Amino acid sequence: MKRPVLQALLAWSIRDLVRRPLESGLLVTALLLTVSVTAAPLLFTQALSTTSGLMFRDAPSLVVRKLNALGWTPIPSDQSVQLAKSVPGVIAARPRVWGRVAGPEGPLTVIGIDRYGPPLPQSTALPGREEAVVGTDVKGDRVAPFLTLTGQRTATLKIVGRSDAMTGIAEPNMVLLHIDDARDLLGVPDGYASDLAIEVFNPAEESAILPDLTAAFPWTVRITTRTESAGIYAAGLARMGGMAVAFLVPALLALCLLVAVTVRDRFGRRFEIGLLKALGWTTGDIVRLQVSRALLIGIPGAAGGIMLALLLVFWPNANWPVRLCPEWQALSSRLSFSPGDAGLILLEVTGLVVLPFLAATIGTVLRCAIADPQEMLERTNF
Amino acid sequence: MERGIECRRLMVARRSSDGREKVVIDDLSAQFETGQMAVISGATGAGKSTLLHVLAGLLRPVRGEVVVDGEAVSRWVSSHRDRWRRRVGIVFQHDRLLGDLSAVENVVLPLIPRGGGLKECRRSALAALSRLSVDPLADKLVRNLSGGERQRVAIARALVARPSFLFVDEPTAHQDHKSTEEILKTLAAAAAAGAVVVVTAHDPRILEAEATGSRFRLAQGRLKALR
């Protein structure tokens, strides 16, 4: 096919769309909304999965918490480290001081920084007494640069830096404090920790080591493995997957409607197709015209729909999706995403929405195009 | 040089409004020569338009064939018939223009798949409109034109691709004397340039025109040569 012919066909398909601006605009909008409603839950569940994968990659193998009759209670730091290290297979044990306190705009995760860690990037300044390094989503008091936190007591801290470092505990809603400030806020006495983070030699030993580890402590402890923690989120993901299906059902119904309208539109254009054939257009020319017309609708519709879905899920302040997943709120309000995920979602949405739309266009046109032109000209009221 | 177009024992049946098959053309044989404007007359409903549609490859005969250069083009498969129609220009009895397009856009339509770029197509379309003296109406929407103007735009559309075969159905039905003369002159020029031109008409101005070549009368499904 010569280039001028393709250019002329493309120009004509644009002209053809402009002939019916309302119809063309509605089709683009319908496709855009269908794609976005289809893509948003897919993007969301994929992003949750990616984010939880990243988070648990940095999480400790085991977390030990001391329990009493009222619930969890601070664990003696040095003694518990020694006891844990006495268990074969344990290669490191780190006491952590952390917990949830009330911030100016909701709950925040406070993490105490001391010689045990947690490890931070070099770019993150260590907070001194009455100082705080906050996550990217944490908003301070109205009087900058201070942050008032309320736990066992109330403390006003000076914000000295922001960090999006992955600590394995929390990300954008975390507050890094000097260990002593964290103890004061959380009510953890000196020499005690909130819990004990343990690394094992072989990740496959996480479960196998549990009986020995439990027996090693003279108190009642609860030990959570990385796999168990991930399981909680997997359940959340499964629920989100179910919700995604609930979103997809109306989206697919909308798609059926879109395809039906497209088919009806093409049959409604039998007269024009018959006329074009009578004027010397081949079946190939007509298919090319309709495909370019469908692409002129489909490409902006699909691209706009994907963009809208990305904005809905990843817009910095649009954390509504996270609110749908309660387990997630405690840990993170920011979702991670990779180009590979985007490509996969794009392929899925193309398969789900764009291909049926194109197939409806081409299939109907082909059926018309092989008929005798006079038949199409006569069977249309004109 | 083309040797014209020949109908061999054509039979065409159409389904009427009550659902019955009605034979419109029966055992029709005729030869239309290159370089001539043949005129077919006949009563309303005699099958003149149907014959033109069969010649133009818009309709298949039940029996018989349309032969061009020794090839039975009416028997060709759909994709080949597409190519046959590309050699044809047709003017319908009812103009079959797209009312929401301008006159020049309607005339451009046959040129788009033939290549040459949109500017060149538009230039050719304007030249065709100019031959029928409707170029001042080029950018007007067809639905705003009079019947006679629309008919001339339809003739320009048929002529624009310089077809080897031109089939014209009642081209002067809405025309005044001057326009009729102009149309006849244009059709005769197309024939003189080497096209086979077949015109159906009731209009005595065409039937008596000197520019026409062979004349036929279609009655009871058969074609009778008058001259």
A268-313 residue pLDDT tens? 678 888 899 999 998 888 888 888 888 898 889 888 988 888 888 7
Which pLDDT belongs to residue A267?
60
pLDDT over 70 (residue A68): yes
**pLDDT category, A166, cuts 50, 70, 90?**
very low
Q: Please state the rounded mean pLDDT for residues A50-67.
A: 78
Which pLDDT belongs to residue A62?
86
**A93 and A160 fall within a common domain:** yes
Higher pLDDT, A102 or B163: B163
Which pLDDT belongs to residue B1?
42
Which pLDDT belongs to residue A111?
86
**B92 found inside a domain:** no
**Listed residues B146, B162, B178: the one ending a domain:** B162
* Nearest C-alpha in A relative to B114: A5
**B11 and B77 fall within a common domain:** yes
pTM over 0.90: no
User: A15 lies in which domain range?
Assistant: 3-56+232-378
Which pLDDT belongs to residue B87?
92
**B131 and B168 fall within a common domain:** no
**B83 and B170 fall within a common domain:** yes
**B45 and B107 fall within a common domain:** no
**Listed residues A168, A198, A224: the one ending a domain:** A224
Which pLDDT belongs to residue A310?
83
Which pLDDT belongs to residue B107?
96
Best-predicted range by mean pLDDT among A43-47, A52-56, B91-95, B218-222? B91-95
**Listed residues B162, B179, B201: the one ending a domain:** B162
> A382 to chain B: which residues are within 8 Å by CB?
94, 96
Please give the tally of structural domains in chain A.
2
**B121 found inside a domain:** yes
Which pLDDT belongs to residue B126?
96
**B2 and B73 fall within a common domain:** yes
> A19 to chain B: which residues are within 8 Å by CB?
100-101
Which pLDDT belongs to residue B208?
78
Question: What percent of chain A is predicted at pLDDT more than 70?
Answer: 76
Strands A174-178 and A131-134: antiparallel
Higher pLDDT, B50 or A349: B50
**Rounded distance between C-alpha atoms, residue A42 and residue A36, angstroms:** 10
Work out the minimum CA distance from A4 to partner chain B, whole angstroms.
5
Higher pLDDT, A167 or B185: B185
User: B56 lies in which domain range?
Assistant: 1-87+163-227
**Listed residues A161, A190, A224: the one ending a domain:** A224
Work out the minimum CA distance from B215 to partner chain A, whole angstroms.
25
Q: Which residues of B touch A (CB under 8 A)?
A: 53, 56-60, 78-79, 82-83, 85-86, 88, 90, 92, 94, 96, 98, 100-101, 105, 109-118, 121, 157, 161
**B147 found inside a domain:** yes
Please give the tally of structural domains in chain B.
2
Which pLDDT belongs to residue B195?
92
Lowest mean pLDDT across A14-23, A231-240, B114-123, B150-159: A231-240
**B208 found inside a domain:** yes
**B93 found inside a domain:** no
**B227 found inside a domain:** yes
